[in-house]
């Protein structure tokens, strides 16, 4: 184990740990292990199971992949930077190899260490996971921006003003609700279902009523308790149906973290009961550092990470297929299936309930 004071300066400069106080860093340090690497020694290897992140304290690391034709360099990690952070929250095979470019020192926090922090120092764990989630959301935002820029999708949505539509009626507040109203498909224990109801407001939507509309500001997510909803996105003059969602799903959870406008319209199929959780209530929950706050944050973080991974798998071949360099939207009459698929993936970047890799129905 490592001396809490030795690495305090470098830990405090990392964006993942910068939110921690000196006392919190001292709580963190017994949970990490020190790794000394020789020149060219691997820290992580592509294809190996990953469940840890590393903070570089001295030396340099190179990130690269093997694509079948050879080595593809991706990045160089400098002291103070973190690598592999998503696997600490949601373990998965490594997508790249990380190796030392010289004699290098790193401190490693694995999933077991993060679990210990969640149990014994939840405020520390929440700060770390919040920072990682912000990084993931930024990457999702960057991918979204690239799609908008490269595919010429700025004008696809109607009324892209960022202002609320006055013709959207307010839902009715539904008073009589209990833990049994939270469907099993939500994956919550009775205890967590009760905690969820305490921070949310149950709202009743009529058939066909809009729950949220494309391009409106996002400041809340919804947990679907009863009924189904349709998700759609406007592409040019046509509105495309993207998915029908069933009870138990959480819709629009990126709005708990990111203030961008909605990327899709969600409309009640029949009568719908949904629990609205605002960003303010979510942030207040995290500040409480309760066990439920830790579990809900983990759920949101995992959803973000899986959307980013899905985007990486889905969008690269789609962009190649579409001839991105020719900006296919500029070709007269060109609205191929590939572009609809890319649009669906773009919406999924901000509406994580959608499976980014699922083909359009």
The pLDDT tens digits for 41-74 are 999 999 999 999 999 999 999 998 887 777 888 8
Among the listed residues 357, 355, 349, 342, the one whose alpha carbon sits nearest the alpha carbon of residue 143: 349
110/139 same-domain check: no
What letter would DSSP give residue 102?
S
Q: Does 160 score more than 80 pLDDT?
A: no
Residue at 128 is within a domain: no
Of the pLDDT bands very low, low, confident and very high (cuts 50, 70, 90), residue 301 is very high
- The answer to the question of residue 46 being in a domain is yes
pLDDT tens digits for range 10-22: 888 898 999 999 8
pTM value?
Answer: 0.81
- State the pLDDT confidence band at 261, using cuts at 50, 70 and 90: confident
Pair (214, 333) in one structural domain: yes
Whether 307 and 331 map to the same domain: the answer is yes
State the pLDDT at residue 309.
81
Domain presence at residue 149: yes
Residue 8 phi/psi, 5° resolution? -55, -50
Nearest one of 50, 33, 45 to 109, comparing CA atoms: 33
Any domain includes 55: yes
Put the strands of the sheet holding 265-268 in their side by side order.
Answer: 210-212, 265-268, 229-235, 238-245
Do 269 and 143 share a structural domain? yes
> pLDDT-derived band of residue 356, with 50, 70 and 90 as boundaries?
very low
Full domain range(s) for residue 71 = 8-120
- Last residue in a domain, options 120, 151, 184: 120
Do residues 279 and 314 both lie within one domain?
yes
Decide if pLDDT at 344 tops 90: no
- What is the pLDDT confidence band of residue 126, given thresholds at 50, 70 and 90? very high
Q: How confident is the model at residue 289 (pLDDT cuts 50, 70, 90)?
A: very high
Q: What pLDDT, on the 0 to 100 scale, is given for residue 167? A: 45
**Average pLDDT over every residue of 306-322:** 67
CA dist 130 to 81, 159, 237, Å?
Answer: 16, 32, 38
Instruction: Give yes or no: residues 203 and 62 share one domain.
Output: no
How confident is the model over 195-222, as pLDDT tens digits?
999 999 999 999 999 999 988 988 999 9
CA distance 218 to 197: 20
pLDDT at 258: 85
Q: Are residues 175 and 210 in the same domain?
A: yes
pLDDT, position 176: 72
Same-domain check for residues 46 and 168: no
Do 227 and 99 have their domain in common?
Answer: no
Domain match, 105 and 173 both: no
Clarify whether residues 58 and 140 are in a common domain: no
pLDDT > 90? residue 303: no
pLDDT at 168: 52
Query: What mean pLDDT, rounded, does the chain reach?
Result: 81
Domain boundary among 120, 146, 179: 120
Domain count, the chain: 2
Considering only residues 341 and 25, tell me which one the structure prediction assigns the higher pLDDT.
25
pLDDT tops 70 at residue 327: no
pLDDT confidence of residue 358: 52
Q: What pLDDT is stored for residue 38 in this prediction? A: 96
Boundary (domain end) residue, out of 120, 150, 173 = 120
User: Which range scores top for mean pLDDT: 159-163, 312-316, 323-327, 355-359?
Assistant: 312-316
The whole-angstrom separation of Cα 108 and Cα 98 is 13
Structure tokens at 266: 């969600």
Is the residue at 289 inside a domain?
Answer: yes
Question: Cα 165 from chain centroid?
Answer: 27
Cβ atoms 293, 339 nearer than 8 A: no
Q: Is residue 3 part of a domain?
A: no
Q: Judge if 166 and 251 occupy the same domain.
A: yes
- Report which secondary-structure segment, H or E, holds 110: strand 104-110
């Amino acid at each position: 184990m490592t001396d809490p004071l030795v690495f305090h300066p470098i830990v405090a400069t990392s964006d993942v740990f910068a939110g921690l106080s000196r006392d919190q860093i001292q709580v963190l340090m017994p949970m990490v292990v020190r790794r000394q690497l020789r020149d060219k020694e691997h820290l992580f290897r592509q294809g190996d199971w990953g469940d840890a992140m590393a903070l570089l304290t001295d030396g340099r690391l190179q990130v690269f992949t093997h694509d079948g034709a050879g080595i593809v360099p991706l990045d160089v990690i400098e002291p103070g930077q973190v690598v592999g952070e998503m696997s600490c929250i949601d373990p998965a095979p490594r997508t790249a190899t990380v190796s030392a470019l010289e004699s290098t020192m790193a401190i490693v926090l694995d999933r077991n260490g993060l679990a210990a922090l969640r149990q014994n120092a939840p405020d520390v764990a929440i700060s770390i996971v919040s920072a990682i989630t912000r990084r993931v959301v930024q990457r999702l935002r960057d991918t979204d921006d690239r799609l908008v820029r490269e595919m010429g999708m700025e004008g696809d949505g109607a009324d892209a003003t960022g202002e609320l539509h006055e013709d959207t009626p307010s839902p009715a507040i539904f008073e009589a609700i209990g833990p049994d109203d939270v469907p099993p498909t939500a994956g919550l224990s009775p205890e967590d279902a009760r905690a969820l109801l305490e921070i949310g407001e149950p709202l009743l939507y009529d058939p066909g009523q809009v729950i949220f509309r494309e391009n409106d500001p996002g400041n809340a997510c919804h947990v679907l308790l009863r009924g189904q909803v349709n998700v759609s996105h406007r592409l040019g003059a046509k509105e495309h149906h993207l998915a029908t969602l069933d009870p138990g799903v959480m819709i629009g959870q990126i709005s708990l973290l990111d203030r961008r406008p909605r990327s899709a319209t969600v409309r009640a199929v029949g009568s719908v009961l949904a629990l609205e959780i605002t960003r303010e209530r979510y942030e207040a929950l995290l500040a409480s550092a309760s066990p439920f706050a830790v579990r809900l944050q983990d759920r949101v973080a995992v959803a973000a990470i899986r959307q980013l991974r899905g985007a990486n798998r889905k969008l690269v071949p789609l962009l190649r297929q579409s001839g991105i360099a020719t900006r296919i939207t500029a070709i007269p009459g060109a609205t191929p299936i590939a572009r609809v698929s890319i649009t669906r993936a773009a919406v999924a970047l901000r509406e994580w309930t959608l499976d980014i890799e699922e083909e359009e129905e």
